[in-house]
């Protein structure tokens, strides 16, 4: 059976950049554009040339992407000709394969925001599409507020969409700009539109204000639309845009869509999805959402013992798709509720072979339970669990020994007369019989300790050069009669692989030190450093 082509349009760099706290540099934009291109997106919208210097520079030269590189901008202003509108002229000059115009389609907005007549707005859509076609560009028209406009005045909203299509736009994109439309309304209105414009020329652009942007995009496809616009991780203004990271695997892995549509992303490209999602969070300095569908750390994590034992027999019992298809992996959480089967499946996942009846498994389980009663939480710290398991099984070499450390925090006036706080740490380590002493300075005691510990590990130094800390979280817990601090540290290596380690102690420096040590030792084990 031949499948219909469904096109994916990414607007992370344009609409996604509208989100609070997101500010892409030119370099960031080039990195993201290349990443989207490699993932197999059909369209990459880069920005709004003429609106700011970064976007103007981005479109100042041919970026040579496989995807259709798209520039965004406004239709010509009312009362001006296309050639006499500097904004439009700049857009037409952009080095882009396609131009996506945003046009008003709600008569209320035409009157109040644009302060012009319905007829002049239609003429502006037609003229702008023609001007871009004459320049040899593929043309898309984002019909702003289409669904609200359609509810208020269906004839006029449709007239705008048809004006765009008849003037030669490749795509007429229906936008739920305020994000308040519900899936059944989307399905109904798109069904009505495709009676006038072929669905193969209709797109959907949904915002997430009722948390249904993904559902709305799929509803539009069911009704006949053949292009979906969205962003990576759903970033965007207010509550965000439709999340392509959830939409892509749904289209690829759910039978209803997979049987009918081809999305131009191969199975191999799909395996990069989790990495792409994490890399964007990294660039934006956001902690990844552990509970993100498909790609989150917890998306394939299970806790209860009976689920885990069924999972071991057949993953399909508790998983809707295979985690590997999107580059994620299965996790069985080690916790109070878990039993032997949790431990066994976690050992299998991390590649430790051990006989089911091995008495050390019971010892490991006891150890985990004992530590969890003290405040450790191994389900959140996979690397510390792996080290604990390897230690109980006798598989972690004694790489080095920290004989002593000393941390000092001082507040004083600096040369400019300003009060500053500085932290200093000195660490004494024994590596292969040799004692090494390193000092480090940091903006806080843990930072200073980390700097000093990783400054010189002698023959192991080369294995930890690429190691960096990406997140540090502290929680105060009440365990028994005294309060203890639980520290979770997330680390990353030069290949972008991440892991989390844990430390627990009444003293926050001590718990941080445990977590730091686990992170370094874990890295050494992972790189196969010789003992």
Pairing of strands 419-431, 400-413: antiparallel
Determine the residue with CB nearest Zn ion. Answer: 15
Nearer to Zn ion, 15 or 382 (CB): 15
Where does this chain touch Zn ion (CB under 5 A) — which range of 12-20, 254-262, 312-320, 378-386?
12-20
Nearer to Zn ion, 131 or 235 (CB): 235
Where does this chain touch Zn ion (CB under 5 A) — which range of 15-23, 263-271, 302-310, 320-328?
15-23
Nearer to Zn ion, 15 or 148 (CB): 15
Minimum distance between the CB of residue 209 and Zn ion, rounded to whole angstroms?
11
Where does this chain touch Zn ion (CB under 5 A) — which range of 7-15, 252-260, 313-321, 486-494?
7-15
96 phi and psi angles, rounded to 5 deg: -135, 155
Minimum distance between the CB of residue 205 and Zn ion, rounded to whole angstroms?
6
Nearer to Zn ion, 82 or 174 (CB): 174
The Cα–Cα gap between 27 and 58 comes to 9
Residue 269, CA distances (Å) to 63, 289, 318, 328, 329 in order: 21, 22, 25, 13, 16
H/E element holding 276?
Answer: helix 273-283
- Are the CB atoms for 10 and 23 separated by under 8 Å? no
Minimum distance between the CB of residue 455 and Zn ion, rounded to whole angstroms?
48
Binding-site residue total for Zn ion (CB under 5 A)? 1
Nearer to Zn ion, 144 or 379 (CB): 144
Q: What is the DSSP string of 130-170?
A: HHHHHTT-EEEEEEETHHHHHHH-HHHHHHHHHHHHHTT-S
Where does this chain touch Zn ion (CB under 5 A) — which range of 9-17, 144-152, 461-469, 485-493?
9-17
Where does this chain touch Zn ion (CB under 5 A) — which range of 10-18, 101-109, 423-431, 455-463?
10-18
**Angle at CA of residue 502, ends 501 and 504, nearest 5°:** 165
According to CB under 5 A, which one of 15, 55, 127, 386 is a site residue for Zn ion?
15
346 near Zn ion, judged by CB under 5 A: no
- Are the CB atoms for 240 and 214 separated by under 8 Å? no
Minimum distance between the CB of residue 351 and Zn ion, rounded to whole angstroms?
44
Minimum distance between the CB of residue 100 and Zn ion, rounded to whole angstroms?
11
Residue 244, CA distances (Å) to 132, 207, 316, 330, 407 in order: 28, 12, 24, 22, 46
The answer for residues whose C-beta is within 8 angstroms of residue 480's C-beta and 6 or more apart is none
Radius of gyration of the chain from its Cα atoms, rounded to whole angstroms? 28
Minimum distance between the CB of residue 15 and Zn ion, rounded to whole angstroms?
4
Where does this chain touch Zn ion (CB under 5 A) — which range of 14-22, 92-100, 127-135, 186-194?
14-22
Nearer to Zn ion, 213 or 245 (CB): 213
- Are the CB atoms for 333 and 290 separated by under 8 Å? no
The total number of residues shown for the chain amounts to 531
Nearer to Zn ion, 18 or 200 (CB): 18
Minimum distance between the CB of residue 235 and Zn ion, rounded to whole angstroms?
11
Nearer to Zn ion, 72 or 165 (CB): 72
The Cα–Cα gap between 310 and 319 comes to 11
The Cα–Cα gap between 467 and 304 comes to 33
Minimum distance between the CB of residue 206 and Zn ion, rounded to whole angstroms?
8
Minimum distance between the CB of residue 182 and Zn ion, rounded to whole angstroms?
18
Residue 240, CA distances (Å) to 9, 177, 180, 244, 296 in order: 15, 11, 12, 11, 18
| Residues within the interface to Zn ion (CB under 5 A) | 15
């Amino acid at each position: 059976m031949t499948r219909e082509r469904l096109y994916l349009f990414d607007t992370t760099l344009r609409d996604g950049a509208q989100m609070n706290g997101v500010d892409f540099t030119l370099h960031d934009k080039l990195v993201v554009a290349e990443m989207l291109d490699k993932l197999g997106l059909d369209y990459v919208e880069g920005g709004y040339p003429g609106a700011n210097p970064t976007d103007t520079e981005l479109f100042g030269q041919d970026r040579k992407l496989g995807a259709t590189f798209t520039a965004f901008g406004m239709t010509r202003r009312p009362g001006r000709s296309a050639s006499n509108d500097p904004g439009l002229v700049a857009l037409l000059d952009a080095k882009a394969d396609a131009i996506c115009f945003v046009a008003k389609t709600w008569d209320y907005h035409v009157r109040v925001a644009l302060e012009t007549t319905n007829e002049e707005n239609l003429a502006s859509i037609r003229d702008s599409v023609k001007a871009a076609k004459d320049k040899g560009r593929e043309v898309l028209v984002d019909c702003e507020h289409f669904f609200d406009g359609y509810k208020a005045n269906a004839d006029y909203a449709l007239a705008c969409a048809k004006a765009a299509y008849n003037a030669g736009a490749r795509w007429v994109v229906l936008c739920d700009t305020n994000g308040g439309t519900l899936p059944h309304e989307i399905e109904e209105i798109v069904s009505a539109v495709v009676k006038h414009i072929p669905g193969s020329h209709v797109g959907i652009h949904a915002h997430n204000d009722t948390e249904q942007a993904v559902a709305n995009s799929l509803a539009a496809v069911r009704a006949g639309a053949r292009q979906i616009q969205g962003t990576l991780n759903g970033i965007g203004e207010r509550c965000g845009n439709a999340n392509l990271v959830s939409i892509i695997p749904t289209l690829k892995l759910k039978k209803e869509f997979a049987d009918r549509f081809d999305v131009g992303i191969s199975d191999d490209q799909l395996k990069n999805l989790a990495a792409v999602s994490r890399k964007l969070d990294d660039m934006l300095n956001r902690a990844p959402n552990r509970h993100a569908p498909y790609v989150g750390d917890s998306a394939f994590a299970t806790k209860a013992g009976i689920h885990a034992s069924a999972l071991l027999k057949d993953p399909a019992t508790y998983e809707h798709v295979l985690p590997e298809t999107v580059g994620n992996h299965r996790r069985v959480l080690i916790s109070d509720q878990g039993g032997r089967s949790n431990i066994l499946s976690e050992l299998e996942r991390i590649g430790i072979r051990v006989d089911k009846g091995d008495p050390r498994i019971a010892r490991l389980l006891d150890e985990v339970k004992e530590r969890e009663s003290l405040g450790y939480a191994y389900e959140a710290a996979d690397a510390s669990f792996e080290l604990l398991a390897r230690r109980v099984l006798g598989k972690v070499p004694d790489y080095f020994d920290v004989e002593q450390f000393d941390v000092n925090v001082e507040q004083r006036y600096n040369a400019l007369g300003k009060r500053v706080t500085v932290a200093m740490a000195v660490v004494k380590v024994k590596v292969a019989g040799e004692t090494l002493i390193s000092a480090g300075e940091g903006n806080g005691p843990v930072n200073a300790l980390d700097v000093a510990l990783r400054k010189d590990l002698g023959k192991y130094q080369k294995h930890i050069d690429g190691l960096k800390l990406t997140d540090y979280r502290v929680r105060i817990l009440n365990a028994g009669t005294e309060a203890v601090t639980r520290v979770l540290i997330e680390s990353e290596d030069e290949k972008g692989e991440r892991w989390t380690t844990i430390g627990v102690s009444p003293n926050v420096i001590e718990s941080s030190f445990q977590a730091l040590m686990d992170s370094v030792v874990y890295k050494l084990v992972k790189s196969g450093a010789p003992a």
